[in-house]
Amino acid sequence: MTETRTRVGIIGAGPAGLLLSHLLAQAGIESIVIDSRTRDEIEHTIRAGILEHGTVRVLSESGASTRVLTDGHRHDGIELRFAGEGHRIDFRGLTGRSVWLYPQHEALKDLIATRLEHGQDLRFGVTASHIDDSDPARPVIVAADADGQRLEIAAEFVVGADGSHSVARAAVTGSQTGGYFREYPFAWFGILCEAPPSAPELIYSNSPNGFALISQRSATVQRMYLQCDPELDPSSMSDRQIWDDLQSRVDGHTLIEGPIFQRDVLRFRSFVAHELRKGRVALVGDAAHTVPPTGAKGMNLAIADVLLLNEALLALLLEGDERALDQYADAALRRIWKAQHFSWWMTSMLHVAPDATDFDRRRQLGELNMVVESEAGRRYLAEAYTGWPTDKA
């Protein structure tokens, strides 16, 4: 068994854990980051691609990712499509803000490279089993490395940035599942294809056949999603069926087709843990909450948690001041529940529930018309999509 000490023990080398270690290091606070996955797995898992204004600012200004500004693409709006027509939501005109298309795994490549360059103790293939908080002032991460060798990391503070299957959650909420929870009767079928972009901006399309999202990755690779049954086997549809389905759902707009080289099904769920912090252990990112993907809030919300927790940890570890830490959960939850509402709202406004009646369908079109015909409606969507200011979560 190996025993190690550090100031902050971080479980999870996703965007939240890595950015937190980066910000702490800039303030002279050392940390250890562990993750059960390999570096290759982390850098190649396909996730969402939209970064809020504030996320881009922190990634670029802190030096965590310089490529976001050079390789990412600024998007000043989106198209909402329904009843055969497209309606542009002009983010920049309405809020002065934009979002950036930069896939999460690219941000992770930047973060990992930056942390390693700065000598971060970052350990892949190390699986945490639980947090031992029998001494509340000195929590210990109990883990095993790839060879099954037991490892204990004793810290002044432990952060669970370990995703939706978090093992840290039990130390904070008392159980693996303790939280508010909602499931949805549909999922997204996601594809990557070789083709040029079909439109200059993302298209969120509501149609009688269900929702479709036309997103992008590069000049030659595109990401698209279509609402599907959560039990759908991704190999059961032919390329022709997928394209016909996508084309029908963006009624009035023609997509440029190309070979499909990646397929996956994304489950929809909403979750918020009952507690975000207990003593010297706190949760950030998907360990604390999950949102459905519509509106791409997941990673952005994780980054917002990190900004708050970083401030609280600096006050605690540099000045012995616990006040910001005591406010961490309330401050983070304020934004988390706004993002839960936004993700739920975009989801329910754009998808067709399997049991939707004619009334539901017509009401939904009424709602969409209300949003696009009103400047207040468009601004409401634009403010939420581009992200609320991070200084007042």
Catalytic residue list: 75, 204, 293, 297, 385
Nearer to ligand DHB, 128 or 195 (CB): 195
Residue 367's closest CA among 380, 384, 386, 354? 380
Q: Strand 73-75's sheet: what is its strand order?
A: 50-51, 99-101, 73-75
**Does the footprint of ligand DHB cover residue 49 (CB under 6 A)?**
yes
Q: By CB under 6 A, is residue 17 in contact with ligand DHB? A: no
The two tokens of residue 286 are 């998907």
- Does residue 215 belong to the site contacting ligand DHB (CB under 6 A)? yes
Does position 296 bind ligand DHB by CB under 6 A?
A: yes
Region near ligand DHB per CB under 6 A, out of 2-10, 47-55, 159-167, 244-252: 47-55
Residue 81 engages ligand DHB in binding (rule: CB under 6 A): no
Question: Do 312 and 325 touch, CB atoms closer than 8 A?
Answer: yes
CB burial readout 33-47, b (16+ within 10 A) else e: bbbbbebeebeeeeb
> Among 223, 277, 289, 351, which residue sits at the site for ligand DHB (rule: CB under 6 A)?
223
Backbone torsion region of residue 28, taken as left when φ is above 0, otherwise alpha when ψ lies between -120 and 50, otherwise beta? left
For ligand DHB, give the closer residue by CB, 294 or 310: 294
* Binding status of residue 294 toward ligand DHB by CB under 6 A: yes
Complex with ligand DHB: residue 13 or 48, whichever CB lies closer: 48
Q: Which of 24, 50, 331, 350 binds ligand DHB (CB under 6 A)?
A: 50
Which range, of 43-51, 145-153, 234-242, 367-375, touches ligand DHB by CB under 6 A? Answer: 43-51
214 contributes a contact to ligand DHB by CB under 6 A: no
Provide the pairing of β-strand 127-132 with 85-90. unpaired
Q: What are phi and psi of 331, to 5 degrees?
A: -65, -45
The CA-atom distances, in angstroms, between 143 and each of 17, 186, 227, 279, 284 are 16, 36, 38, 20, 19
CB of 81 to ligand DHB, least distance (A): 14
- Cβ proximity to ligand DHB: between 167 and 214 the closer is 214
Binding mask 237-276 toward ligand DHB (x if CB under 6 A, else -) reads ----------------------------------------
Q: How far apart are CA 231 and CA 250, in angstroms?
A: 23
Nearest to 283 by CA among 154, 159, 142: 159
Element (H, E) at 55: helix 53-61
Q: Which of 10, 13, 33, 48 binds ligand DHB (CB under 6 A)?
A: 48
Q: How many residues bind ligand DHB (CB under 6 A)?
A: 11
Listed in order, strand segments (DSSP E) in the chain are: 2-11, 31-35, 50-51, 73-75, 77-82, 85-90, 99-101, 121-124, 127-132, 140-144, 150-160, 179-194, 203-205, 212-214, 221-228, 260-273, 277-278, 281-283, 289-290
**Least Å from the CB of residue 293 to ligand DHB:** 4
Please report whether residue 22 would count as binding ligand DHB according to CB under 6 A.
Answer: no
137-166 residues near ligand DHB, rule: CB under 6 A:
none
The verdict on 295 binding ligand DHB (CB under 6 A) reads: yes
Give which of 353, 268, 336 is closest to 297, Cα–Cα: 336
The residues facing 5 across adjacent strands are 154
**Shortest spacing between CB 246 and ligand DHB, in angstroms:** 14
**193 is a site residue for ligand DHB (CB under 6 A):** no
> Which CB atom, from 102 or from 328, has the smaller least distance to ligand DHB?
102
Query: Which residues of the chain form contacts with ligand DHB (CB under 6 A)?
Result: 48-50, 202, 213, 215, 223, 293-296
